[in-house]
Amino acid sequence: MSSPILTSSLRPPPPPPTLSPSHPFPDLSADITSIDPLPRAQGSFSDLHKGMLAHGIPVAIKIFRVCNDDDANIPILEHYRREVQAHELLGHNHQHFVKFLGVATIGRRPAIIMKWYENGNTTQYLHLNPHASARRYALDIVKGIKSLHTHNSPITHGDLKATNIVVDDDGNILLADLGSARIVNDTAVTAANVGGSCRFMAPEMFPTIVDDDTQSPQPTLASDIWSLGCTIAEIITFKKPYHTRRSHSQVVCSIANGILPYTEVNFTNDCIREGIAEYKDIWQVLEKCWVMDPALRPTIVEFEGLVENLFGAY
């Protein structure tokens, strides 16, 4: 019996979503001269490649992983739109954020083009430079988040963690990956789950924990504060939140049971090993970020004051 002839119903990926006509970023598709075949990093919705523009300018090219499934593309294209929108609001050369150069279309896939930072992210940099100042980096991260939260149109980051923060040639840190960013007062409703790393996410970001699975929770200023505490603890201890839990389900169960991302004993031991004397005071400040009730967490301005009291303003 002859085999049936299979016909393909595959379609090419959709064109990139329509961006705001007023967005100031150029289309750099024609200026890209090369792209490394393998990504340097991968996220939930995109691959980050190193590439080159004309005249040998190295750039980071984030290519969004769209496919021929319209439903699967919803969160991916929303991630792309949010990242461009956030950089539009901040300006392409903000002192606390990666330099945004433009957009592109690569093989019908939307992409964004940013400056390439050879030092990599803070996790990579601190492992290679263990004597770099974690205190200074903590302050810089706080100032970066403050510029989002106190913007004329307040913005949440939505996916803050050490691997989403890069180090420039002068050793300054810059926040990156704004695909989960959201304008707080934006009334547009989206069904898209725009991601986030569960180890760094606040309890209210999990529908199963807050007993509401009818919609995807959106990041808030308070959920950013939870993630901010996790990020600072990570760069101080070199350990991820819930580092003793191996799986996603173990992490979610821990959060649901009110277990903090770090224990005071382990945090203290890690601080002592790193030569950080004020570990008790640091713990007391970070613990304020991990209050289960979002309304009881400090605002970014309050948290900045606490951190400056610990490490000194500059």
122: CB partners within 8 A, 6+ apart: 137, 162, 163, 165, 166, 167, 173, 235
135 within 8 A of 307, measured Cβ to Cβ: no
How far apart, in whole angstroms, are the C-alpha atoms of residue 94 and residue 189?
A: 28
CATH classification (class only), 122-186+193-311? mainly alpha
The DSSP output letter for 210 is H
Show the tokens assigned to 201. 């996410």
The DSSP output letter for 55 is G
How far apart, in whole angstroms, are the C-alpha atoms of residue 303 and residue 191?
A: 31
Q: Write down the residue that tokens 């926040």 correspond to.
A: 175
Q: Regarding the domain delimited by 32-115, which CATH topology (the fold level of the hierarchy) does it fall under?
A: Phosphorylase Kinase; domain 1 (3.30.200)
300 within 8 A of 157, measured Cβ to Cβ: no
How far apart, in whole angstroms, are the C-alpha atoms of residue 156 and residue 52?
A: 31
Query: What pLDDT score does 136 carry?
Result: 87
Query: What pLDDT score does 8 carry?
Result: 41
Residue 74, amino acid: I
Spans of all domains in the chain: 32-115, 122-186+193-311
What is the residue-level pLDDT of the chain in tens, covering all 314 positions? Answer: 444 444 444 555 555 555 554 567 899 999 999 999 999 999 889 999 999 999 899 999 999 999 888 888 888 998 999 999 999 999 877 899 999 999 999 988 999 999 999 999 999 998 898 888 888 899 999 999 999 999 999 999 999 999 999 999 999 999 999 988 998 877 554 545 555 689 999 999 987 655 555 567 789 999 999 999 999 999 988 899 999 998 989 999 999 899 999 999 988 887 776 667 778 899 999 999 999 999 999 999 999 999 999 887 65
Q: Residue ranges of the alpha helices (H) in the chain?
A: 70-90, 122-128, 134-149, 207-210, 221-237, 248-256, 264-273, 279-289, 300-311
